[in-house]
Amino acid sequence: MTLDEKIGQLMLINSPGGHSINSIKDDLRAGRIGAILNEVDPETVRELQRICIEESRLRIPLLIGRDVIHGFRTVFPIPLGQAASWDPELIEQCARVSAIEAKSRGVNWTYAPMLDICRDPRWGRIAETLGEDPYLTSVLGSAMVKGFQGDNLSGADSIAACVKHFAGYGASESGKDYNITNIPENELRNVHLPPFKAAIEAGAATVMTSFSDLNGIPASANEFLLKQVLRNEWNFNGFVVSDWESVRILQTAGLTEGDKESAEAAINAGMDMEMASRTFADHIKTLLDENKISMAAIDKMVENILRVKERMGLLNFNAERLGYFREYDLNGHLEIAKEAARKSLVLLKNNNYLLPLKKTNLTNVAVIGPLADDKYEQLGTWIFDGDENISETALHAITEEGKENFSVKYVRGMHTTRSRSYDFFEEAKAAAYDSDVVLLFLGEESILSGEAHCRSDISLPGNQAELINALKETGKPIVLVLMAGRPLALEYIIDKVDALVYAWHPGTMSGTAIADILFGKYSPSGKLPVTFPRVTGQIPVYYSQKNTGRPATPESFNHIDNLPIRAHQVSVGNTSFHLDTHYTPLFPFGFGLSYTEFHYSDIRLSSDKLTPQGKILASATVTNTGNREAEETVQLYIRDLAGSITRPVKELKGFKKIRLEAGKSSVVEFEITVNDLKFWNKYMKYTYEPGKFHLWIGGDSDANLRAEFELIQI
C-alpha cells in the first residue's frame, strides 16, 4: 500500500449525499477514503462500493456507518427502556432486526451499543444507556453486540457493532454533555469499564472513544485507555474510531495547540480511525517527516481496520454482491417491537388495583395529553431512519379497544410537553368530569433527551404538574402514562395520580403495547434499570452507593419542616441525608409492579462457607400469591461487608426471569463463586478478599430476604 492508501483507510467521512457523489469519486478511486457515514440510499451505496471494487487499485470496499441505536425503520424502545425488560434474549432480537433493516439499505456498521454507566439522569444521553448498573449493562450490552453481529460477522444480515463511549462519558460533570469526567481509577475499573470488557469478550468489532476527558486527558488521546487497558490488558484486536471530530477538538479542550498536534496525540495514544475531521489526512505525512509518529504505528492502525473488514467479509466482496440488499419481514419485526415495548413498560403505582381497566365497567374514557397521539415523539431520540408512518399511537389503540364498550374523548391538554399555556385546561377538565377514568399521557418530547439535550431540573417540564392538579380536582381516577428519555423527579405529583405506568419512549408499537397493559391483556413485567430520585437535588442517587461512616436511618432522619425553632446544631442526627427530602429514592433500582403479587421466602445457602475453588448455591422460593399468571425478574444482590476499599451496600450479581401461574411457587437458584466477589482493590489488583458477605434474593434492590456467608482462604 502507498502512504496515501494507508491514510485513506484511516478516514471516516460524512456522506456528501447521493446528489454530490461526484465530489468524492476521485478520492474513492485513489483509495483516499476507507469509510463513510450517514449514507442510507441503497443505489448510492452500490455506486460507492462499485467504484472501490472496480476502479480503485486495491479494491477494498467501504465501511458504511450509521447510528442504528434502537432500531432502523422499525423503532424499538430507547435503550434505557429496553433495559427495563431485563431480557437479554429479547434485546438480542431487537438488535438483530435493526441489523437486518440497516443492512437492507447498505449499512454495515453501527455506532452501538452505548455502554456508559450513568447515575445522573440530568444527562440527556442516559436515554441511550442501559442504566446505572455495571452487571446489567454488561449482560444486555453483550446481547446487543451478538444481535448486531449475528453468529458470523460476514453474514448477509450482520453489521459490525461499535461499543461506545470509551470510557467514563456517563459520569460527565453536572450531567452536561461533553463535560469533563473525574473518575478515580478504582471506580473506573469497578464501575465503568466492565461493560466494555464484556462486550469485547462477546466479539464487538470496534470501539468508539468518548468526547469527554478522563482525569485531565481526553479519551481520544488517552494512552491509558486505548493502549494499556484496551490492547494490553484486554487483547482487543478490532479498531478504535473517534467520535465526531473528537480528534480535532483536542485543541479546543486545551490539550494541544492545533490540528497537527491533535493528530499526533491521538495516533500515539492508540486511535485508529478519525471520524468527520481531517487532522490525520492533513498532517500524517508531516508528522512522519518530523519523527513525531512512526510508520509502524500507521501500519498497525491500517492492519487493525483491515482485520475488521476481513472479518466482515468485505475483502472478499465482489461486484456480484453489490446489489444484494435483502428484503425483510416488516410484520414480523413489528411483532418483536410490540413485545419489546410491552416488556419495557414499568408499573410504578397502582392504588386500589385500578389497573387493569375492565372495559365492561367503562362508558366514557378521557384520553388527555400531548403524547397520546404523536407518532413521532413516542419514537424517542436517535431515530434518523424511523418510519413514523408505521407508528401506532396510544389514542388509536385505546379507541380500538373501546369500540364495543366505551367512547373515547381526546383532549390535547397542552400544546407540547414544555408549554406554559393553560389554553386546553378547561377542555381537559370537562372531558375528565364526563369520564369514568382519565388516561393522561405526559412526560418529555423526544427532543428533551439524547445528545446535548441535558436538563438542570428533571421534574415534569412546562405546566404538566398544573394540569395534573387541575384534573385531580375533578375527583376522577387518573392513570398517568409517562413517556420520557430519562427518570423524572416525581415527588410533587406522585400522590395526585392513582396509577403510574412509565413507558420511556416505547417506539413504533407504543400504542398497542400501552393498551395491552392498561386493559390487562398483558401483565406488566418491566423493572427499573435506574434509580428514580424524589427531586433533582438528590442526584446522584443509585442503589449501590457506599454506606458512609454515618448512614441515614429512620431514627436519625429529620425533615426540615419538623425542625424546632432555634434548634441546636446537633439536633438533626448528624447522618448523611438532605434536610428537605427523604434519604431514600422515590423508586429503587430493579423495582416494578405486576398485576399479581410475588412473595419471596425460604432463602437457603448450600453452605455458609465459600472457598476460592468452590461454589455456593443460593436459592429462594418465589410464590405467585395473586390471581393471574405473570412474569417476575428474580434478582440476586451481594454485599462485601469489609474490604481493602469500602464496598457498595449492594451489588447486582445475577437475575433470572420466571413465569408463574396463580398460586404456584418456584425455587430459584443462583450459583456463587469467587468470580462474583472479585473487585479492583486498593493496590489496583483484580482479586477477591476473604471475609463475610450478605446476600439478598428479591424483586428489587430493596430486597430484605437475606442470608450470610463467609469466603475463607484455605
Distances in Å between the Cα of 73 and the Cα atoms of 98, 127, 334, 391 are: 8, 19, 10, 10
DSSP secondary-structure letter at 290? T
How many angstroms separate the first and last alpha carbons of the chain? 58
The 3-class secondary structure across 324-343, one letter per residue, is: CCCCCCHHHHHHHHHHHHHH
Chain centroid to CA 216: 26
Q: Which residue has the cell 442503589?
A: 543
Among 71, 70, 87, residue whose Cα is nearest residue 79: 70
DSSP secondary-structure letter at 288? H
Do residues 696 and 650 lie in contact, with contact meaning Cβ atoms separated by under 8 Å? yes
Going 552 to 558 to 560 to 563, the CA torsion angle's sign is negative
Please report how many Cα atoms fall inside a 13 Å half-sphere around the Cα of residue 575, on the Cβ side. 14
The enclosing H or E element of 213 equals: strand 213-214
Q: In terms of DSSP H, where are the helices of 491-636? A: 510-518
CB neighbours of 513 closer than 8 A, spacing ≥ 6? 338, 341, 342, 344, 345, 506, 522
Q: In terms of DSSP H, where are the helices of 320-411? A: 330-344, 394-401
Cα separation, 680 vs 687, in Å, equals 6
Q: In terms of DSSP H, where are the helices of 161-234? A: 185-187, 194-201, 223
Rg for the chain, CA atoms, rounded: 27
Chain centroid to CA 482: 18
Other beta carbons within 10 Å of 472? 17
Other beta carbons within 10 Å of 362? 18
Q: Which amino acid is at 320?
A: E
Cα separation, 428 vs 413, in Å, equals 6
Catalytic residue among 67, 133, 243, 272: 243
Distances in Å between the Cα of 648 and the Cα atoms of 133, 514, 543, 584, 643 are: 12, 36, 9, 16, 10
Assigned C-alpha cell, 686: 483484580
213 is catalytic: no
Among 640, 547, 646, residue whose Cα is nearest residue 184: 646
Cα separation, 663 vs 667, in Å, equals 14
Cα separation, 336 vs 334, in Å, equals 5
DSSP secondary-structure letter at 98? H
Q: Which residue has the cell 436511618?
A: 553
CB neighbours of 425 closer than 8 A, spacing ≥ 6? 413, 466, 467, 470
Residue 667's SS3 state is strand
Which residues are identified as catalytic? 243
